[in-house]
Amino acid sequence: REDYEQAARVRDLLRNLRLPGTQ
């Protein structure tokens, strides 16, 4: 389902925001 992939992407985005710009 796309819902699962979207949730994973949102989690990744939140993780990136949590870290001080660690790309």
Look at residue 11 and tell me whether its pLDDT is greater than 90.
Answer: yes
Q: How far, in Å, CA of 10 to CA of 18, rounded?
A: 12
Look at residue 22 and tell me whether its pLDDT is greater than 80.
Answer: no
Q: pLDDT band at 6, cuts 50/70/90?
A: very high
Q: What is the pTM (predicted TM-score) of this model? A: 0.44
Look at residue 23 and tell me whether its pLDDT is greater than 60.
Answer: no
Q: How far, in Å, CA of 14 to CA of 7, rounded?
A: 11
Q: pLDDT band at 16, cuts 50/70/90?
A: confident
Distances (CA, A) of 16 to 1, 2, 23: 24, 21, 8
How confident is the model at residue 17, as a pLDDT?
85
How confident is the model at residue 9, as a pLDDT?
96
Q: Which residue has the tokens 């990744």?
A: 12
